[in-house]
Structure 1
Amino acid sequence: MNVRRRLIPTTAVTGAVILGLVTLSACSDASGAAGKGKENGGKLDVVASFYPMQFLAEQIGGDHVTVNTLTKPGVEPHDLELKASQVRELGQADYILYLKGIQPAVDDAIQQAGVENTLDAATLTKLEAHSTSTGGHDHGHEGEEEHHGEEEHHGEEAGADPHIWLDPVKYAEVAKGVGASLEKADPAHAADYKKNTAELVKKLDALHKKFDEGLKNTSTRTFITTHSAFGYLAERYKLDQEGISGMDPESEPSPARIKELREVAKAEKVTTVFFETLASDKTAKTLAKDAGLTTDVLDPLEGITDKSKGADYIEVMESNLAALRKALGSK
């Protein structure tokens, strides 16, 4: 994934991390979780890297956690710059939940923070390598990129697509792992974490069924999107994703790619070019105008803002389903 790495000044990181580690060691207790929760009304202090991790922590942790996210609403996660205060917050956390491969600056800071209860969600499921063209079946166009969906990788391997939360089935798998991890980190409330996990998995299963039924019979199976974040969703529901910019939503497509997309749109009877709320829609609108297509939002759910079509993960995913049904001509 072509993600621009943001560097934090070495002196700021070193000072912040040392302070965080000193604080952590000073307040740890025999329960296995850091003791800062005692200063927080007895709640576990959880730091989540960005919204999909925040949602899991809040839903599963419930009343027993206080969740802070490093990526504030409206910030494009791939471009996140960490301040010294945020690195310090990492070192003082009771529990850290993140997804390796999305935010290199966060990955580096978490590794340095050394918090005992740290969970990489990418280790809870199998990751796959996805190309710009990803989907459930072959278009049959000469020269189209080979589909690599069957190649499975662990999260730390290069080329793995980290957008697992956009597949409700994989997200449910991750939720189960997060629940088990919280039970271990805070055994006093294990029963509640187990109950909350089961309730969330039930919601995600219901969401999966809505997608499965809603996208079963369509006029076309192909959709074009600026950000190639929907590879797992496309594979799950036997759709074909054609990404304009690849994994990095800010990268510029080549003239050859734009030409190819116009040809794909005509051959596959594509009606819509999707864009997202946290990145520029300029390329999507230019392509749509040139090819005589409409535009709409397909949200990769990397953050919730007042522009989001829903208040949380479930609602925005349901909005995504409605947009896909309309664009694909669901019957």
Structure 2
Amino acid sequence: MIIIKKNLKFTFCALAVTALVSAVVLSGCSGNTAAPGASDTEPVSNTAAVSRDEESTGAASPESEEFSAEIEAEDTDGQKLKVMASFYPMYDFAVKIGGDKAEVTDMVPAGTEPHDWEPAATDIKNLEEADLFVYSGAGMEHWADDVLASLETKRLVSAEASAGLTLRPGHSHDEEEHEGAEEHAEEEEHDRGQFDPHVWLSPVNAKKEMENIKNAYVKADPDNKDYYEDNYKTYAVRFDELDQEYKDTLSALPGKSIVVSHEAFGYLCDTYGLTQMGIAGLSPDTEPDPARMAEIIDFVKTNHVKVIFFEELVSPKVAETIAAETGARTRVLNPLEGLSDEELKNGADYFTVMEDNLKQLKAALE
């Protein structure tokens, strides 16, 4: 088609030259000066007509079609999965698996204790618009089942990271000691869960949680399966190394008993042969009654406990009281339920916190 147009242009140009020569000859004979102007416009008019013909077809050139396709492909490839994570460990694991393929949001703000946190209307809206929701389960997110049931979206993939794990029973020490007291039952409302939810504090369990999160990514975005699989394999090795480091370090220490702010370390203790005594139960916001305080103090003295552990997101007041009563020291043992803004800015993550926890345990048990 392009060749035909070029030939047409050539023909019109030839006609124009012929007409011009004729006009010159005629003007030489008759002295008429108007003819050259008239014949000059004719080839321009015909050429313009051909150009309008090209435009009227509406056909894009192959080059422009390829350019548009490239832009569309880049836009599609640039889209990231929108991932919502229920609290810090789930956020950290989701970031590590999703990499540059995901935009991950931690629903619980930095520095917030997650046990009593509940989603606001904006959080529900974000879940409606998300591709993937990652939560630990086992009762940690007491709001999750009701919220998921209320969502209208059909595309959301949800991942209960603790699925498939063997869970510890969720009864609290206080419920055993004061089973019949209504007032105490109200105080222990947050220990109402059937299971202990703190599964991530055992590196063995945390590895399984990350695997479940990886599987959810693959379900939500199968085109990038290999990418997510490779990321998981990288961190699976790190979990194995961390597990071995805990085994080697803790097995060599004489002390086996720890006192903690709340009973978050049951899975860790079960894995590495330790015993925990919690000042509070499975939720950190319950204070011990005098009978419980006496029991804890007796435990500290009997087992020669040198350190009373507390958490940065919980008041250390009770831990300090017990330490003063028994001559013990206080240290931080992080349950990884949430990190502060400062910790996040300094690059802390699951592995760095668990490494620091091991150092704290070593100092307390040696």
Tell me the TM-score range normalised by the shorter chain: 0.7 to 0.9
Residue 162 of structure 2 aligns to a residue whose secondary structure is helix
Residue 126 of structure 1 aligns to a residue whose secondary structure is coil
Residue 242 in structure 1 maps to residue 282 in structure 2 = no
User: In structure 1, how many angstroms separate the alpha carbons of the residues matched to 2:108 and 2:77?
Assistant: 21
Partner residue in 2 for 1:6: none
In structure 2, which of residues 168, 171, 194 is the aligned counterpart of residue 128 of structure 1? 168
Partner residue in 2 for 1:179: 214
Which letter maps to 1:270?
V
User: In structure 1, how many angstroms separate the alpha carbons of the residues matched to 2:193 and 2:111?
Assistant: 28
Describe the superposition over 1:149-192 as per-residue Cα deviations: whole angstroms up to 9, x where unpaired.
xxxxxxxx942111110000011112112112211210110000
Partner residue in 1 for 2:124: 87
Partner residue in 2 for 1:162: 197
Residue 110 in structure 1 maps to residue 148 in structure 2 = yes
Which letter maps to 1:111?
A
Which letter maps to 1:45?
K
Partner residue in 2 for 1:42: 79
Give the deviation of 1:81 after TM superposition: 3.3
Which letter maps to 2:122?
S
**What stretches of structure 1 of length at least 5 have no aligned partner?**
1-37, 134-142, 146-156
Residues 1:53 and 1:188: Cα distance change in structure 2 (over 3 Å)? same
Residue 196 in structure 1 maps to residue 220 in structure 2 = no
Describe the superposition over 1:81-121 as per-residue Cα deviations: whole angstroms up to 9, x where unpaired.
32211110011101100122113234422332255311111
In structure 2, which of residues 121, 134, 159 is the aligned counterpart of residue 119 of structure 1? 159
Which letter maps to 2:128?
G
Which letter maps to 2:321?
T
In structure 2, which of residues 324, 333, 336 is the aligned counterpart of residue 301 of structure 1? 336
Partner residue in 1 for 2:317: 282
Does the aligned pair in 2 maintain the 1:124–1:174 contact within 8 Å?
Answer: no
User: In structure 1, how many angstroms separate the alpha carbons of the residues matched to 2:148 and 2:327?
Assistant: 46
Number of residue-to-residue matches in the alignment? 272
- Runs of 4+ with deviation above 3 angstroms: 38-41, 130-133, 306-310
Partner residue in 1 for 2:14: none
Residue 52 in structure 1 maps to residue 89 in structure 2 = yes
Describe the superposition over 1:196-235 as per-residue Cα deviations: whole angstroms up to 9, x where unpaired.
0111111111111111111012221000001110000000
Residue 72 of structure 1 aligns to a residue whose secondary structure is coil
Residues 1:144 and 1:266: Cα distance change in structure 2 (over 3 Å)? farther
Residues 1:102 and 1:158: Cα distance change in structure 2 (over 3 Å)? closer
Which letter maps to 1:122?
S
Does the aligned pair in 1 maintain the 2:157–2:219 contact within 8 Å?
Answer: no
Residue 322 in structure 1 maps to residue 362 in structure 2 = no
Give the deviation of 1:122 after TM superposition: 2.4
TM-score by length of 1: 0.77
Does the aligned pair in 2 maintain the 1:124–1:177 contact within 8 Å?
Answer: no
**What stretches of structure 2 of length at least 5 have no aligned partner?**
1-74, 179-191
User: In structure 1, how many angstroms separate the alpha carbons of the residues matched to 2:340 and 2:328?
Assistant: 27
Larger of the two Rg values belongs to structure: 2
Partner residue in 2 for 1:22: none
Does the aligned pair in 2 maintain the 1:183–1:190 contact within 8 Å?
Answer: yes
Residues 1:192 and 1:174: Cα distance change in structure 2 (over 3 Å)? same
Partner residue in 1 for 2:39: none
Describe the superposition over 1:285-326 as per-residue Cα deviations: whole angstroms up to 9, x where unpaired.
111111111000000001111464971110000000000000
Q: Using CA pairs below 8 Å that are at least 6 residues apart, which structure has the higher relative contact order? A: 1
Does the aligned pair in 2 maintain the 1:52–1:302 contact within 8 Å?
Answer: yes
Which letter maps to 2:340?
T
Residue 283 of structure 2 aligns to a residue whose secondary structure is coil
Residue 82 of structure 2 aligns to a residue whose secondary structure is strand
Identity of aligned residues (%): 37
Residues 1:158 and 1:277: Cα distance change in structure 2 (over 3 Å)? closer
Residues 1:252 and 1:307: Cα distance change in structure 2 (over 3 Å)? farther
In the TM superposition, 1:7-46 aligns within 5 A as 41-46=78-83
Which letter maps to 2:166?
K
User: In structure 1, how many angstroms separate the alpha carbons of the residues matched to 2:363 and 2:171?
Assistant: 25
Which letter maps to 1:237?
Y
Give the deviation of 1:279 after TM superposition: 1.1
TM-score by length of 2: 0.70
Which structure shows the higher helix fraction?
2
User: In structure 2, how many angstroms separate the alpha carbons of the residues matched to 1:187 and 1:72?
Assistant: 30
